[in-house]
Structure 1
């Protein structure tokens, strides 16, 4: 169940990007609106990992490595090699035009929060969003009711919540089949004479094991194919080729902005 009522007791959850999430209500936010901005995704510049839902694996794989992190094996896209650095956002705040933008980013400044006491989800808005202001050109409410903009945001967040649950089920299936393995992203620099220098570990993460996948029975493979999981698995595996692209982008960024690279 979802609601836009400002019931603050029992809300829980801590999410990336949101500095001041508040339960959306006409009483607190009736005069607010959003202004169009030239760089709507500049707020992602300080993160290198962004959560992803399973149905996004294929389009995201064209831009980023898709990996699994943490005890929950949360799928994320890797946007940079260092914490606090997003190689897909320029220093001026422009998001790389050809790169896929995850739904987690596109739903901002709205988000659902858990109301543990009432066992429901509450639609919240980040009051700290730079483009949210009194008298903004696109209002959150019209005549005391959610505006078309807010209604679309509610629908988007509802769909995102469904995809989040589908993603949890996908990860649970991979765990059940014992398909995960620990992998490392490694970069081998070159010495001045062209010989290989000492390899450098860039990241350690969970990935689906191709060897374990090969041991599954034909019936299980057919089941994964029919329920769509196999396609997502292959998209993840192909995406891991993107580590080389990230390394090249990091070198390019360092050459253009040496001071930032050494920060």
Structure 2
């Protein structure tokens, strides 16, 4: 498998969240492009309430968001809002809160690997639609006909991310094998001005590790999970689920804010 930013003669496969125009980086197509500095580099996630995570990010992400599993693949994600089109950690100007963890999935943007199945390799791509990618940009993609240090650093980051992605798939497969997942619901009970509870509202349905199933494992299996690091990641995931209350508080705060500050 090659991981050099070379042109591809065969089709690339896969659609990637947040990337609207990914293109394999080549000197012919992108030799005059660069990336400009921007005050709000994460504005592109403002309309998403979910951002994918890798397993080694569970602990730092859990300090900011609920970490849950979604879909048939049980993709781990950070929950950044209570519904589609709402990210409670991005303000109206596109600025990310300075006290929250930034998932690697977002930090690698505008770069991403695409799968070239015919040649069995990963190709480094850039989202040509990213607003801070422009002709004559401050940080060039190529210098003297070769990938710049910036592109090489992006290559290394994406390479590491791919390794973490594969590690995450193995982690989820292990939890599936042990039948540790349960379906859960996040529920909000509103209260009136007198503090009386109203009708409970379901915010989300998702997969999470079952503490009861975890406790039922044999001592030998628990020791195995401890030794391979999976138990530590599970223990980071579980307390993160308390973060739903924090999301609700942020949503209430935003709804009560003046329109110009929302």
Partner of 2:15: 14
Residues 41-80 of structure 1: CA deviation (Å, up to 9, x unaligned): 1111010000000000000000000000010000000000
Partner of 1:243: 244
Q: How does 1:51-70 map to 2 (within 5 A)?
A: 51-70=52-71
Partner of 1:115: 116
Instruction: Report runs of 4+ in structure 1 exceeding 4 Å deviation.
Output: 257-261
Structure 1 residue 259, shift from structure 2 partner: 9.7
RMSD of aligned residue pairs (Cα, Å): 1.4
Q: Distance in 2 between matches of 1:4 and 1:152?
A: 12
Structure 1 residue 137, shift from structure 2 partner: 0.9
Structure 1 residue 10, shift from structure 2 partner: 2.2
Partner of 1:189: 190
Partner of 1:132: 133
Residues 157-180 of structure 1: CA deviation (Å, up to 9, x unaligned): 000000000000000000000000
Residues 135-155 of structure 1: CA deviation (Å, up to 9, x unaligned): 111000101111000000000
Residues 12-37 of structure 1: CA deviation (Å, up to 9, x unaligned): 11111111000111111011001111
- The DSSP-based 3-state class of the residue aligned with 2:246 is helix
Structure 1 spans left out of the alignment, 5+ residues: none
- The DSSP-based 3-state class of the residue aligned with 2:185 is strand
Structure 1 residue 119, shift from structure 2 partner: 1.5
Q: Distance in 2 between matches of 1:210 and 1:11?
A: 41
Structure 1 residue 39, shift from structure 2 partner: 1.0
Structure 2 spans left out of the alignment, 5+ residues: none
Structure 1 residue 260, shift from structure 2 partner: 10
Residues 107-131 of structure 1: CA deviation (Å, up to 9, x unaligned): 0000001112112111100000100
Partner of 1:160: 161
Deviates more, 1:4-13 or 1:79-88: 4-13
Conserved in 2, the CA contact under 8 Å of 1:254 and 1:260? no
Partner of 2:210: 209
How high is the TM-score relative to the length of structure 2? 0.97
Partner of 1:104: 105
Deviates more, 1:130-139 or 1:190-199: 190-199
- The DSSP-based 3-state class of the residue aligned with 1:152 is helix
Distance verdict in 2 for CA 1:37–1:8, change over 3 Å: farther
How high is the TM-score relative to the length of structure 1? 0.96
